Chains A and B, each alone.
Chain A
Amino acid sequence: MNNDLSVGIVVFPGSNCDHDTIAAISSLGAKPVVLDYRLHSLPVLDRVILPGGFSYGDYLRSGALAAAAPIMDAVEQAAADGLPVLGICNGFQILCERGLLPGTLLPNPSGEFICQWQAVRVASESPLFTGLDQGRVLRLPIAHHEGSYRVAQGQLAELFERGQIFLQYSDAEGQLHGLTNPNGSVANIAGVQNRNVVGLMPHPERAMAAYLGSRDGWDLLASWLGMGENAVC
């Protein structure tokens, strides 16, 4: 049904979640299109994903070098023209570095990489995620060294008012408190959106089957592809 939906997946040198993301998109019935970072223009696409990984080895700062890669001019232009763009983990860091999303991602306060299952709560309904209700709790993996989301002084209220906070780290019941915050992110923020651009630290592409520990990533990505409640394939 959605075979004609093409999803570009940008591969930077050092991206390492590209294979997993391609597999996830394929399993949802959409068509993954691998986009090399050296491209200066995008083919005709319905969506673009910046996958996770260690682009450019995280040298300088996570995402900083990839944000200046040739393809990012084209991605920025396409985003301005309304193309939905999703950044996962390192992709989120790249979008922040590029200025397409507000805020920044600092090293975890522990100074350590953290990989674990994490409950996240949908903070606000979004036209980008049809059928994903506010308050829905998803079980997704996190795996990052720089995931502590921060914003400039005074910016937080504005982000909430505009409904730009998309996901928050929570407990399994959807409650927000300090103990459920794995990385010191302000207001437990795990994902933000800016019009048609979204970034999130958790890895939905790793939660595509019950045998992997959760199928909630399927729901999240299906919803982003417009295959949620109102657009069942």
Chain B
Amino acid sequence: MLTYQDVGLSAREDQEIVRLLGRRPNELELGLFGALWSEHCSYKSSKNLLAQLPHQGQFVVQGPGGNAGVVQLSADWDIAFKIESHNHPSFVEPLQGAATGVGGILRDIVAMGARPIAIADILKFGTDEKAPGLLHRVVEGIGAYGNAIGIPNVTGSLGFSAVYDANPLVNVLAVGMRRHGLHVGADGARPESVLILIGQGTGRDGIHGASLLASQDFGAETEEMRPTVQVGDPFMGKLLMEATLAIVDQGLADAVQDLGAAGLTSSTAELAYASSVGVVVDVSKVICREQNMNPYEIMLSETQERMLLSVPKKNLAAVLEILTWYEVPYAEIGRVVAGDFLRVVAESQVLAELPTSVLVGGCPRLPVTHDVWIWDGDQPAALEKTRLELTWGYQVIGHPDCRDRSSVYQRYDSMIGLRTVWGPEHDVAVMHIEKGSPGLCVAVTAPARWAALDSYAGGIGAVAAALSLVATQGAVPLGITDGINAGNPENSEPHRKMAALIQGIGKAAEIFEVPVTGGNVSLHNETEGQAIWPTAAIGVVARHPNPEQPIADAPPYAGTRILVLNPPGKPDLGGSVLAEILGHPGSYPVLDVGAIQHSLHFLAEIISQAKNVGLLACRAVGIGGLFVAVAKSLITKTPMALGAHLVLAEDADARFVFNEMAGQWVLFVEPDFKPFWDQVFETHGVSVIDIGLVTDSPELMITAGRAITWPLIDLWRAYRKGGVRDVR
């Protein structure tokens, strides 16, 4: 006899099910509840928190709740985009776990009727002996799927900390485009329509992936979880994508839902719930890959590369013709009816019947109380005044979080599709849409070290950092998507950190007036009581005014002035790479969001007339601080012929050079326009300081009282190979 524990439910939830149904569920029904009331499907611990994020905005076409958020790029094109996680599977089986993570988020985009045009990966790994192997296989998996299905991987983020040893993070952002005005989603199913399941034959893979693997902490039995990880088939994914897009382009389906976590159960129940209809699913009609699969297995299988279509009868012949053309297997597995239930049958025998209001909408959510929001963790004291040291430059740029990423991104096809103007070799991606159309700017950030110390301030910082990146291009942010990763929500501390993180994201989104149009929450990233840092992966899509001519991120010639826009009044090393190296993490500073917002507006205005004010290049200050931003502008140029001489105030110390307070930019400006920039505080109310000039000597020199010189070749070597030992 199956019990509630077997399907991952609590006693309280079991009682609630009996109360809401007015009866005990049978075994199959209990299994359906186990899946849909899992943390992974129900967001029960986070939904009330996420509800507080701002979702509305000028360009929002569809906010959270669908398979992906949709924003308007231009009169002709909408952009669908979302981040999703595949953390647990990627630890248990890195290659397939990561590959199916890519496949899953791409199907979400396709289910919105959008053609995927880009992916980005946000990865966190540990520092133990297992980490390099995990990284290698995760990258192989992401590449194996993305390269084969033919979607370019255009940007990414990679970070390391021992807290991810047993819980690496694999979050993937996918971006797609669809004609403005086309509405496709799971919410349009109408009675009389036929339910068609297309794609891969259903197998026994991934049963309980949502309820047991993704919704519980890891323990000693993790090894036994391997069979709950699915195997990806990008070839079938490609056929499924093309067939689905052909069907929606012709308006032949009234609803589309991909099969992800909890497979047929969640797709049918969620489609019914979103469309306010009932559905009848006949498991005997489902094409199975294995023999003698029982209804429980069929309903809970997480076999990849499957899509559910609701097709009005009059369109059936046309749909089947398309599926036949693309050689995508399909079966008519049920029908849409008036009502509000999911009924599972095997031919004439009814096996389960549950109201979707209970199954999808009834899961008890963790309430938000005021207490949850208050951050009161102990924080180590801030670092005192620190004299700049030569070795710190090498240590910071050679730190795993700052280092060159070419060994990762060269394993991804970043150019397929003819849209990649700027790919992963830059801090931000610039994509071409079509001749005469605005382009798309895509950036991701996941500054976990900041949120580890102060989740609220770190949440603000993560959003500010992402917006700072697209601001370097004068791009108008259309929306952001958030991937929240945290520990066990039933434990007080991880839950409170997650709550503070989400609140910080919400605060920033509100101040910067950019809506959060969807995202993902992955909890239970915890092993034997050791939780990860609360980690927000932020993805932003922005309208690029002139994608064929991005604003450079490196200076063009010697003599160029180097300015900093919005330098912090009180630079604070808290949460920075240098602070970690010095063993004195401090606390991530609370940012002046007003000044950042002002600077964002200023950049948007000034970049549109860059030539008139002598603005030659721009780079956002991120991980590693000003030092890394300037150094990268010099060492990523070929040939490496230009250096810089920064002349700082006598008392400027390491805090100025290495702080990671988001919302600062390095600007490279023609010297002739110095008068304009000298007065920009008076004319525009933003703070800009001149810190030096570009030289024709290949070294970075900083004078602050005394002078320190870093030959670029040494910085380059540290950037490429890491560490400081090989340098000196």
Interface residues of A (CB under 8 A from B): 13-14, 16-17, 19-20, 23-24, 53-54, 56-59, 112-116, 141, 143, 145, 203, 205-206, 208-209, 211-213
Contact = CB atoms under 8 A, between A and B. Distances in A.
A112 B140 contact: yes
Interface residues of B, number: 31
Contacts of B412: 113, 115
Q: Label chain B's interface by main secondary structure.
A: loop
Contacts of A58: 148, 235
6 contacts: A13-B238, A16-B148, A58-B235, A113-B413, A114-B410, A114-B411
Contacts of B547: 211
Interface stretch (B34-42, B343-351, B417-425, B629-637): B417-425
A13 B418 contact: no
Given A113-B143, A115-B411, A212-B421, A14 B416 contact: no
Interface in B418-438: 418, 420-421, 432
A221 B239 CA distance: 28
Contacts of B239: 13-14
A71 to B, nearest CB: 15
Contacts, number: 83
A23 to B, nearest CB: 6
B546 to A, nearest CB: 10
Contacts of A116: 410
B415 interface: yes
B414 interface: yes
B147 interface: yes
A58 B239 CA distance: 14
A171 to B, nearest CB: 12
Interface string B486-503: 000000000000000000
Given A13-B327, A20-B417, A57-B148, A115 B238 contact: no
Contact of B413 (A59, A115, A208): A115
Contact of B235 (A54, A206, A211): A54
Nearest to B327: A13
B233 A17 contact: no
Contacts of A14: 148, 235, 238-239
B233 A57 contact: yes
B423 to A, nearest CB: 9
Given A23-B418, A115-B410, A115-B411, 6 more contacts: A13-B326, A19-B417, A113-B413, A115-B409, A206-B415, A206-B418
B548 interface: yes
Q: Output the residue of B235, B416, B548 with the most chain A CB within 10 A.
A: B416
A56 B236 CA distance: 9
| The 5 residue pairs across chains A and B that have the minimum distance between CB atoms | A57-B235, A16-B150, A211-B548, A54-B148, A143-B413
Contacts of B238: 13-14, 16, 54, 57
Nearest to B546: A211
A205 B150 CA distance: 14
B420 A16 contact: no
Contact of A203 (B148, B411, B415): B415
B432 A212 contact: yes
Contacts of B414: 115
B667 interface: no
A211 B415 CA distance: 12
Contact of A57 (B234, B327, B421): B234
Contacts of B148: 14, 16, 54, 57-58
A202 to B, nearest CB: 11
A209 B548 CA distance: 9
Contacts of B548: 209, 211
A57 B240 CA distance: 13
A20 B418 contact: yes
Contacts of B415: 115, 141, 143, 203, 206, 212-213
B292 interface: no
A62 to B, nearest CB: 11
Nearest to A19: B417
B149 interface: yes
B549 interface: yes
Contact of A211 (B149, B236, B327, B421): B421
Contacts of A209: 548
Contact of A56 (B235, B418, B420, B432): B235
Contacts of B144: 113
Given A20-B417, A57-B148, A211 B432 contact: yes
Nearest to B424: A115
A112 B411 contact: yes
